[in-house]
């Protein structure tokens, strides 16, 4: 069982709302590993007439862990989303159904990600490191959707996303041109 600080962190993770599947799925997989519940994604141990006490106990433990994992996953969903997936009786079935619904790589999805990436702007007073990291995550989401974003394009888009108060920095960064790499930006 997780210690109190970790349990609090888990409780503060964003719930699945239908548009945040990639991040939610990554978090859920890490939680399952941390809680030592990832084994429920494998097949349930089979118990037969000739099963030993150890095999029977292992199957019972697997069933208990599966209930815990399924519950934890459903509780990390918005209520309206949870209602859709509550009918699935195992952790593996819930995750497979969620993946089938939300792990969609359509052209429309890619266009929406591209639009969100290209229109992202850093607000005045926003931390530049946080902004750059947010832009890097969006570029990774585009890459995951099959739309590779070159390093030069990422650098250019990040520079263009800076607010007006960064005009001098933008000019200096543009002067570096193709010599500027992602690794040189603050992260």
Give how far the C-alpha of residue 13 lies from the chain's centroid of Cα atoms, to the nearest Å.
10
Task: Give the domain ranges of the chain.
Answer: 4-102, 107-184
Q: How far apart are CA 56 and CA 1, in angstroms?
A: 22
Strand-pairing partners, residue 77, are 16
pLDDT tens figures, 152-175: 899 999 999 999 999 998 888 888
pTM of the shown model: 0.64
pLDDT tens figures, 19-68: 788 889 999 999 999 999 999 999 888 898 999 999 999 999 999 999 99
């Amino acid at each position: 069982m997780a210690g109190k600080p970790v349990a609090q962190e888990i409780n503060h993770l964003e719930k699945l709302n239908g548009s945040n599947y990639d991040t939610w799925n990554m978090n859920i997989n890490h939680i399952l590993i941390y809680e030592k519940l990832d084994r429920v994604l494998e097949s349930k141990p089979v118990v037969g007439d000739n099963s030993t006490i150890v095999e029977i106990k292992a199957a019972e433990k697997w069933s208990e862990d599966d209930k815990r994992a399924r519950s934890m996953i459903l509780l990390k969903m918005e209520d309206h989303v949870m209602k859709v997936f509550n009918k699935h009786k195992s952790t593996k079935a819930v995750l497979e159904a969620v993946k089938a619904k939300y792990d969609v790589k359509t052209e429309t999805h890619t266009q929406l990600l591209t639009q969100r990436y290209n229109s992202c702007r850093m607000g005045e007073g926003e931390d530049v490191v946080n902004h750059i990291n947010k832009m890097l995550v969006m570029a990774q989401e585009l890459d995951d959707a099959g739309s590779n974003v070159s390093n030069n394009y990422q650098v250019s888009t990040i520079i263009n996303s800076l607010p007006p108060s960064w005009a001098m920095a933008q000019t200096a960064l543009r002067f570096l041109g193709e010599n500027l790499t992602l690794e040189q930006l603050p992260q």
